[in-house]
Amino acid sequence: MKKTILYSATAIAALALAGCSSSQAQPNQSTTEEQSNSSAEVITFGTEGTYAPFTFHDTESGELIGYDVEVAQAVAAKLGAEAQFHEVKWDGIFAGLESGRYDVVANQVAITPEREEIYSFSAPYAVSNPVLIVPADDTSITSVDSVKGKKSAQSVTSNWAELARNAGAEVVPVDGFTEAVAALRDGRVDVTFNDNLAVLEYFATTGDDSVKVGAEVPEDKSRQGFAFLKDSELAPKFTQALEELKADGTLAKIGEKYFGTDISE
C-alpha cells in the first residue's frame, strides 16, 4: 500500500523557521497551486486524494480525508504547525517534492532501500502486505509465482509495479486501484497487486464481487512512512512526533476509525 516529548514555544518557532513552507490556503485545504510560499505556520503535504481509505474525498462534503491525511494532520499539530495538502497523481508525486511544491509526501509511500538512497523517511506509521486481485472466476493465479507472463495493472512507479515486474508480469499502466479493477473487469489485464488494507476497504465499501483476492503475500511486509528530500530536518522531527502519537494512542485511534484495528508498527 503506521507511526513523546512536548515542544517548548522556542523549539516550535525554531522548527517552523527551519522546516515549514506555506501558502495562503486555509488549514487542511487541498490545493493545486504550483508552488507554496513561505510561512512559519504550515507544513505542506503532497498526496493523491484518490487512494481510499488513505487519502480521498468524502462523497458528501468533498473534504479531503483518510488515514494518511489524519496522521499528517496529527503530526503537524504535534509540531505546532497546520497541514496543507497539494493533490497530485502518484506518478508525479516525487517530482513535486523535488521541485519544492510541498515539504512531505503523505501517500502510503513504502520505505525501500532504493528510495532511501534518494529520500529521507520518517519512522513507519503503517504496516501492510501485498495481495493479488484477480477476476472472480480466475483459478490460475494463486501465488506470486503464477503471475509470470501475465498482465498486471499498476501505477508504473509504485512499489506494486516493481513487485509485479520482479514476478515476471507485464505492467500495464493505470492511474490507481479503481482503474486497475476496471481493467480486470474488462479483461484487459489478468491481475493487479495492491495493499491488503486498501483492498479490504474497497470490498467493504463497494461490495464488488467481480474480483477477488487470488493470493496474499504475508511474508513480504511493507512499511510506509512520510517521504522528504534527502537529509531534510523535518524527517527526525516527524519520527519523534509519530513516536508520541503512538504512545498516546492517537495512531491506534485513527487506524481503528478506518480499518477497525491499529495498523501502525
Angle 35-38-42 from CA coordinates, rounded to 5°: 95
* Cα–Cα dist 60/55, whole Å: 15
DSSP state of 157: T
Residue 170, pLDDT score = 98
Residue carrying the nine cell digits 532504493: 114
Phi, then psi, of 112 in degrees rounded to 5: -120, 155
Residue 109, pLDDT score = 95
* Cα–Cα dist 148/135, whole Å: 17
Domains assigned to the chain: 9-126+222-259 (3.40.190.10), 130-216 (3.40.190.10)
Cell numbers linked to 115: 528510495
pLDDT at 4 over 90: no
**Per-residue pLDDT averaged across 149-153, rounded?**
98
Instruction: Tell me how crowded residue 17 is: count the other CB atoms within 10 A of its CB.
Output: 10
| 212 CB-near residues (< 8 Å, 6+ apart) | 133, 134, 135, 136, 138
For residue 31, count CB atoms less than 10 angstroms from its CB and return exposed for 0-12, middle for 13-18, buried for 19 or more: middle
Please, what's the b/e burial string for 48-83 (b: 16 or more CB within 10 A of its CB; e: otherwise)?
Answer: bbbbbbbbbbeeeeeebbbbbbbbbbbbbbbbbbbb
Helices 67-78, 234-247: crossing angle, 10 deg rounding:
100
Q: What residue spans of the chain are helical by DSSP H? A: 9-19, 67-78, 93-98, 113-116, 159-166, 177-185, 196-206, 234-247, 250-259
Residue 261, pLDDT score = 86
For residue 127, count CB atoms less than 10 angstroms from its CB and return exposed for 0-12, middle for 13-18, buried for 19 or more: middle
pTM attached to this predicted model:
0.67
Tell me the pLDDT tens digit for each residue of 177-226: 899 999 999 999 999 999 888 888 888 888 899 999 999 998 888 899 99
Tell me the pLDDT tens digit for each residue of 127-145: 999 999 999 999 999 999 9
- DSSP secondary structure, 179-226, as one string: HHHHHHHTTS-SBEEEEHHHHHHHHHHH---SEEEEEE-TTS-EEEEE
Tell me the pLDDT tens digit for each residue of 16-44: 333 444 333 333 444 433 334 444 589 99
Phi, then psi, of 246 in degrees rounded to 5: -70, -45
